[in-house]
Amino acid sequence: MNCRRQTGQFQVDAIESSSLRSGLLFFLAVLVLFSLGADLRAQEPRRTDGCRPPTDEEKQWMKDNMIVTKTVRPNELAMKRLNGFRKAKGLDALPADMAIADEASCVDGKTQAQIEKEGMTLNEYLAPALTEAANPPLGDLPAVDNSLEDWFPPVGDQGTIGSCAAYSSTYYTMTSQIARLRGWKVSDGSESFSPRFTYNLVNTGQDAGTWLSTVYAMEQAHGAARTSVWPYIPSSSPSSNYLDWPQTANIWKDAINYRMGRSGMVFNIDTEAGLKTVKSLLLNGYILNYATDISGWQGFYKIKDDPSTTADDALVGQSCTTYCQYWGTGHGMTVVGFNDNLWCDVNENNVLDTGENLKSLFSSNHLKK
């Protein structure tokens, strides 16, 4: 199972006076697993080509502002999950004081600009962090699914607007991270942040998509309004749905209460070490975004039930995919968890052959519930 090699990026943390700041973003293209079950609320075809490549200006913003993830240390949620797993296996609990109470200190890293200024390459900077000792013990924890948490919103629908980069990073990432840190329950759809606020402000007056880090920059500088205040309408007709800017003070005031913090990247995610970094972020409850070529994914199968484990049962019957080609159909998506026990029967012989046991990240944009 493979796809284009890729690096990654992410965005995190911090509590700052009245504003919470958190979130995650990254590029990806390794082993992505997602299902194509659709929310068929809209009669019009859904749009997917809303994540365009970054401009030179956006690349520079990323270098100057986004953290290169070096180490991820466990927060209280990660420790709770790890110890729950260890208890079930009859293992001693890890010491509670391993948990990092300060969310802003869980992720360590510098910006690319800082690293270059110090005369280092990215790999030189990351090399010491890619050792077992430098990262928290994931152990053999087989799976994390953040989409099952109270702080994760229901699967939504961008509709016919090319807002996926904003939808994935605002509706999913921003909503989940602020809800997680503020103790909100949003799994019932009672609250979320509106991609209409972020997308309409950065799409330069056309429905031609945007780039993930530009949405992050917006969320960090101005926040985003809640959908209860500035609702997202998932249709490109009338065009005001993606062109309107907020024109009342209450919308801007709502948004400024919810600014996001630092953003960052995960590199080398086509390696075990890079994948472990992504898993450590997911274990902490962070939600990640990535850009992919949605129509380029090829070779779809259904997850089969491996009778030797129950860790796969919840995802049996969902779709998995095996490789990705360039089709020029950019799409912003969301990574919500991982599972190391999934069987994709690529040769369809009903036997779990070598190489068919996936270590997979899975995504929520198309997750059928």
State the minimum distance, in angstroms, from the CB of residue 119 to Ca ion: 49
Q: Establish if 347 lies at the interface with Ca ion (CB under 5 A).
A: yes
Q: Is 256 within 8 Å of 115 (Cβ atoms)?
A: no
Distance CA 242, CA 232 (A): 9
State the minimum distance, in angstroms, from the CB of residue 320 to Ca ion: 13
Which lies closer to Ca ion via its Cβ, residue 142 or residue 231? 142
Among residues 90, 328, 351, 354, the one that binds Ca ion under rule CB under 5 A: 351
Q: What is the 3-state secondary structure (H, E, C) of 110-128?
A: EEHHHHHHCCCCHHHHHHH
Which lies closer to Ca ion via its Cβ, residue 269 or residue 315? 315
State the minimum distance, in angstroms, from the CB of residue 303 to Ca ion: 10
Residue 119: CA count within 13 A, CB half-sphere = 0
Describe the crossing of helices 212-222 and 56-65 by its angle, rounded to 10 degrees.
50
State the minimum distance, in angstroms, from the CB of residue 301 to Ca ion: 10
Q: CB burial class (10 A; 0-12, 13-18, 19+) of residue 178? A: buried
Which lies closer to Ca ion via its Cβ, residue 222 or residue 302? 302
State the minimum distance, in angstroms, from the CB of residue 319 to Ca ion: 16
Distance CA 80, CA 252 (A): 37
Q: Establish if 354 lies at the interface with Ca ion (CB under 5 A).
A: no
State the minimum distance, in angstroms, from the CB of residue 85 to Ca ion: 17
Degrees to nearest 5, angle at CA 334 with 329 and 338: 120
Site for Ca ion in 210-269 (CB under 5 A): none
State the minimum distance, in angstroms, from the CB of residue 37 to Ca ion: 20
Q: Establish if 349 lies at the interface with Ca ion (CB under 5 A).
A: yes
Distance CA 291, CA 253 (A): 30
Tokens of 180: 């997680």
x/- string (CB under 5 A) for Ca ion, residues 288-317? -----------------xx-----xx----
Among residues 15, 345, 357, 359, the one that binds Ca ion under rule CB under 5 A: 345
State the minimum distance, in angstroms, from the CB of residue 353 to Ca ion: 4
B/e letters for 23-32, b = 16+ CB within 10 Å, e = fewer, are bbbbbbbbbb
Which lies closer to Ca ion via its Cβ, residue 247 or residue 354? 354
DSSP state of 61: H
Identity of residue 323: Y
Backbone angles phi, psi at 115, to 5 degrees: -65, -45
Among residues 16, 102, 118, 353, the one that binds Ca ion under rule CB under 5 A: 353
Which lies closer to Ca ion via its Cβ, residue 88 or residue 351? 351
Which lies closer to Ca ion via its Cβ, residue 88 or residue 249? 88
Give the CB-nearest residue to Ca ion: 353
DSSP state of 103: G
Which lies closer to Ca ion via its Cβ, residue 105 or residue 310? 310
- In terms of residues, how long is the chain? 369
Which lies closer to Ca ion via its Cβ, residue 191 or residue 345? 345
Point out which residues bind Ca ion (CB under 5 A).
305-306, 312-313, 345, 347, 349, 351, 353
